[in-house]
Amino acid sequence: MPSLTITLIQTPLFWEDKAANLAMLEKKIYAITEKTELVVLPEMFSTGFSMQPESLAEEMEGETFAWMKKVAATKKIILTGSLIITEGGQYFNRLVWVLPDGSFGYYDKRHRFAFAGEDEKYTPGNKRLIARVKGWKINLQVCYDLRFPVWARQQTEETPEYDILLYVANWPERRSHAWKTLLTARAIENQCYVIGVNRVGNDGNGIYHSGDSMVIDALGTIIYHKNGEEDVHTIVLEKEPLENIRSKFPFWKDADSFQILQDRDTDE
């Protein structure tokens, strides 16, 4: 049962300044000295959580995606995070999953944060993305998706659908209790590891983010948590403890069967 080494980057972001953010993140990633296989960046890592896609959006083959491919190849890592993408005259808050060889998958944020007007600017996704690496299955989601458990729920048949549920976010400090509580709930109810990677600092609207990036095991035990400061943290997840929990407490077998009326996609 292979382990998986993941690096979480909790960082401030320069407001709507792609060049500054990419330079800052590149420095942090290249400074990682320990072995890592997956590096996770926050939501809208190149701009901050902006409602100005008209001036900030890029085509998929734009500079930020090219930067992701370059960094992934140079460091021989999988790199993921969300950015603003334009396609077919629409705008998407798109999480991109880039492998060292340049292949990629993506997930468009399903639940748009209407409280901030995201629903007026961005088109919702309609497919989940469950990526695979070294025998691990990772369900990739974005920020506000966390509040909607059906979209994340394990669809079990003979085995659980995924092993890790990963959220990238720009989640404000004023609602950090909900962030921490819901991350823990998602881990317990889905009997999986949950990873939440959030930004820190004030955004361009003066909204403060406390980070509170977390890694939680399938029993709801917090195995990493960082509040209020930037951090680059590498953690090794082991498959055997997860399988032992699922074997000893096979609650997943008693789950209600259901069907989400949107297509799902799986990236190999």
Instruction: Report domain extents, the chain.
Output: 4-267
Q: What is the DSSP letter of 253?
A: G
Q: With bands split at pLDDT 50, 70 and 90, how would you rate the model's confidence at 257?
A: confident
Q: Average pLDDT, stretch 219-234?
A: 98
Choosing from 109, 121, 180, 226, the catalytic residue is 109
Task: Verify whether residue 143 is a known catalytic residue.
Answer: yes
CA distance 63 to 188: 39
Residue type present at position 120: E
pLDDT digits (tens, 9 = 90+) for 18-69: 999 999 999 999 999 999 999 999 999 999 999 999 999 999 999 999 999 9
Q: What is the pLDDT of residue 262?
A: 59
Task: Verify whether residue 192 is a known catalytic residue.
Answer: no
pLDDT digits (tens, 9 = 90+) for 86-95: 999 999 999 9
Classify domain 4-267 by CATH number. Answer: 3.60.110.10
Question: What does pLDDT average to over the chain?
Answer: 95
Side-chain half-sphere CA neighbours of 160 within 13 A: 27
Q: What is the pLDDT of residue 268?
A: 41
Choosing from 118, 143, 173, 226, the catalytic residue is 143
Contact between 129 and 94 under an 8 Å Cβ cutoff? The reply is no
pLDDT digits (tens, 9 = 90+) for 178-210: 999 999 999 999 999 999 999 999 999 999 999
Q: pTM of the prediction?
A: 0.95
Task: Verify whether residue 226 is a known catalytic residue.
Answer: no
> In 3D, which of 73, 78, 12, 13 has the Cα closest to residue 39?
78
CA distance 80 to 94: 10
Q: What is the pLDDT of residue 58?
A: 98
Choosing from 43, 58, 161, 173, the catalytic residue is 43
Q: What is the pLDDT of residue 266?
A: 47
Neighbours of 252 (CB within 10 A): 18
